[in-house]
Amino acid sequence: MITLKKAHEKFLDMAMSRGPRSKKDNLAELKKVNEDFKKMDAKKKKYFDEEALVNPFRDSRILVGDEETKLKTVLVGIDISVGEVMLANELSKNGKKIDAVIAHHPEGRGLIDLTSVMDVHEDLAVMDGVPINIAEKLTKGRIGDLNRGLHAANHFQVPQAAELLGIPLACFHTFADNQCWWFLKKHVEKKKPKTVGDIVEALLEIPEYQKAAKLGNKPTVFVGSEDSKVGKISFSGITGGTSGAKELYESMATAGVGTIVAMHMGEEHKKLVEKYKMNVVVASHMASDSLGVNILMDELEKKGVKILECGGYIRVSRVK
């Protein structure tokens, strides 16, 4: 038996250990946040998010409900709306008791804090060979743009529905994306792909991408062709909250990046990648998110928790 709180703690440890930033650096960041918190006056502490004292990935958190809820059956979705919360309630009324709903994409305070995880794009860019001063300035600009865009959103609709129905709700966003980044980087690099097509084939060895391909959402070459030479591979499009600053692409190309593997890519980003003559493989958003979530959910399955899928989630168990 595992509680929602214990699940959160386990997933947090996995995220700190498997992301682009080392666990040591994550812990150092938390230490600084705690030191700064102690120096705050009472007015600032009143509005401070104390999740930040223990969790550097604040887009991943328990949003509603008792943290000590024991988990036997959870409803898991990539996207959770009021509809999925009501579905959980209906399932419970019809004999399939749902102990908690787990979203991948953040809702509530998790979405408000989405940009708090985006400074990891600096680490990703440095891994790709971009100087830190360039990565830092461009990432900060992107964070500012997104913060202004997110400010007007209705963040509280889904958590309020869960609260009214008495259903615990959590979102595990970067917790899962770090697992996907770790898994894909290891898997693709092991194959030593020479062409972009080799990357596509490597992705299609993974069950989540196989299932997505059968549903018509297979890994796709967005820029370049399957015959294009790979060069240096960047996995910067897999974690970090959302897409990084498009202005980074010029520096990435200068640093020798030949191919970008991403979950998704917008048109403005794509046009700049084309300008700087790099390739892009878009791995399939739902399959990639599902891969990361599956690595987390396997930990629950090991504890005897039943996983029900909804909201675009493709469940693949690796528990033996």
- CATH number of residue 230's parent domain: 3.40.1390
Indicate whether 239 and 294 sit together in one domain: no
Indicate whether 153 and 266 sit together in one domain: no
Side by side, the strands of the sheet bearing 306-310 are 61-64, 169-171, 100-103, 73-77, 306-310
Indicate whether 162 and 200 sit together in one domain: no
Residue 96 lies in a domain: yes
pTM: 0.95
Q: Which of 173, 165, 51, 10 is nearest to 99 (CA)?
A: 165
- Which pLDDT does position 8 carry in this prediction? 98
Q: Which of 258, 233, 232, 236 is nearest to 246 (CA)?
A: 236
Indicate whether 22 and 103 sit together in one domain: yes
Indicate whether 130 and 250 sit together in one domain: no
Residue 316 lies in a domain: no
Measured between alpha carbons, how far is residue 134 from residues 121, 148, 202, 268 in Å? 11, 22, 32, 20
Indicate whether 122 and 222 sit together in one domain: no
Long-range contact set of residues 268-274: C-beta below 8 Å, sequence gap at least 24:
269/243, 270/222, 270/223, 272/246, 272/247, 273/222, 273/223, 273/249, 274/223
Residue 121 lies in a domain: yes
Q: Which segments of the chain are extended strands (E)?
A: 2-3, 61-64, 70-71, 73-77, 100-103, 169-171, 220-223, 232-237, 257-262, 279-282, 306-310
Low-confidence ranges of the chain (pLDDT < 70): none
Residue 317 lies in a domain: no
- Three-state DSSP at 123 gives helix
Q: How many domains does the chain have?
A: 2
Measured between alpha carbons, how far is residue 228 from residues 171, 243, 275, 301 in Å? 38, 23, 16, 41
Indicate whether 128 and 210 sit together in one domain: no
Using H for helix, E for strand and C for coil, what is the string for 168-220? CEEECCHHHHHHHHHHHHHHHHHHCCCEHHHHHHHHCCCHHHHHHHHCCCCCE
Indicate whether 164 and 191 sit together in one domain: no
Indicate whether 279 and 303 sit together in one domain: no
Residue 315 lies in a domain: no
Indicate whether 71 and 148 sit together in one domain: yes
Radius of gyration of the chain (CA): 20
Indicate whether 133 and 165 sit together in one domain: yes
Residue 197 lies in a domain: yes
Q: Name residue 151's amino acid.
A: H
Residue 86 lies in a domain: yes
Residue 320 lies in a domain: no
Indicate whether 135 and 45 sit together in one domain: yes
The first and second tokens of residue 257, run together, are: 């990046």
- Residue-range definition of the domain harbouring residue 218: 179-284
